[in-house]
Structure 1
Amino acid sequence: MADTTQFDLVSPERRLASAQVVSVQIPGADGDMTAMAGHAPTITTLRPGLLTAEGPDGTTQYVVTGGFAEITATGVSVLAERAMPRDEVSADVHAELVKEAEEAHAKAKEVFVNEPGPVDDAAKLLADMVAVGDHIGL
């Protein structure tokens, strides 16, 4: 069996995971990454996506909407803005997440007139949220 590392996933609503895992695939804002035992210390922001933890008891997937991941010598801690187990994400839940991202994009276009940076960021968030639905088959 490969080395394991501690994995913790929390959101403002609840603790979703605390387990020994072999790897954690993280949807980082600057690209996806896989953290394993012995990984270099890293902090990254999350983009909307599918976070996958592989452990001795199998694979568990979570949908995250953003937040931060900290990888240290002792494990991986993910502080998600919003997170839920993959099997809790129905078409209706995903539609609500997309609606929230659409509203944030519309507000950014209204507030940041002639400032493409924040509007582009909101558009990317919306595109990532739509892609999550495609990725998980909704």
Structure 2
Amino acid sequence: MTDTLHFEIVSPERLLKDEDVAMVVVPGAEGQFTALPSHAPMMSTLKPGVVEIYVSESSEPERLFIKGGLAQINPKGLTILAEETLALDDIDTADLATKIANTREDIEDAKDDVERGLLEKELKWMLALSEVAAA
């Protein structure tokens, strides 16, 4: 049994992380889960939320917000394919509140169900980010 888990997080733009870590807490669509060394193979869709990366068991986690994506754990480690990632330090809460209000108005004015569905998806990740920023 190894002491570390190989972890990669990839966004459409680039490879964001590629390192060995102690564990990673992931916002799975069915609930949070923790990926540890020698974890059983699995796949999960991801909901908007925070990925917590622990380099060692006693370290403070590095935290990244993801808009959603897919996680795969296999014998080689954990790979997250993220739709998009945001640095929590860069969040402007006033700007985010304005975007949430504007998106809610846009949902009410949507011309069809397709447009409404896309806007509701955007609103979902913005609300999740707002909760994280408020904590």
**TM-score normalised per structure 2:** 0.75
Letter in 2 for 1:59: P
C-alpha contact 2:11 2:82 (8 A) present in aligned 1: yes
Number of the residue aligned with 1:39? 39
For the residue of structure 1 that corresponds to 2:54, the secondary structure is strand
Q: Quick one: percent identity of the two aligned structures?
A: 31
Unaligned runs of 5+ in 1: 113-117
Q: How many angstroms apart in 2 are the aligned matches of 1:15 and 1:100? A: 32
Q: Deviations along 1:75-116, whole A, 9 cap, x unmatched?
A: 11000011123223332664587479758966888226xxxx
What value does the CA root-mean-square deviation take over the aligned residues?
3.3
Runs of 4+ deviating beyond 3 Å: 92-109, 121-129
Query: C-alpha distance in 1, partners of 2:105/2:75?
Result: 39
- Aligned-pair CA distance for 1:132: 2.6
Which secondary structure does the structure 2 equivalent of 1:24 belong to? strand
Deviation at 1:3, TM superposition (A): 1.4
> Match of 2:126, as an amino acid?
M
Task: Please give the alpha-carbon distance, in whole angstroms, between the structure 2 residues aligned to 1:100 and 1:77.
Answer: 34
Unaligned runs of 5+ residues in structure 2 are none
Change (3 A) 1:109 1:92: same
The answer to whether the Cα contact below 8 Å between 1:25 and 1:52 also exists between their aligned partners in 2 is yes
Aligned partners of 1:9 and 1:18 also within 8 Å: yes
Q: Relative to 1, partners in 2 of residues 1:15 and 1:3: Cα closer, same or farther, differing over 3 Å? A: same
Contact 1:5 1:76 in 2 (8 A): yes
Alignment partner for residue 88 of structure 1, among 83, 87, 90?
Answer: 90
Judging changes above 3 Å, is the alpha-carbon distance between structure 1 residues 61 and 96 closer, same or farther for their aligned structure 2 residues? farther
Give the corresponding residue for 2:77. Answer: 75
Matches within 5 A, 1:1-138: 3-56=3-56, 58-91=60-93, 94-95=96-97, 98=100, 102=104, 110-111=112-113, 126-127=123-124, 129-137=126-134
The CA distance in 1 between the partners of 2:110 and 2:75, in whole Å, is 38
Contact 1:9 1:16 (8 Å CA) reproduced? yes
Q: Distance between the aligned counterparts of 1:83 and 1:29, measured in 2?
A: 16
| 1:126 CA displacement | 3.3
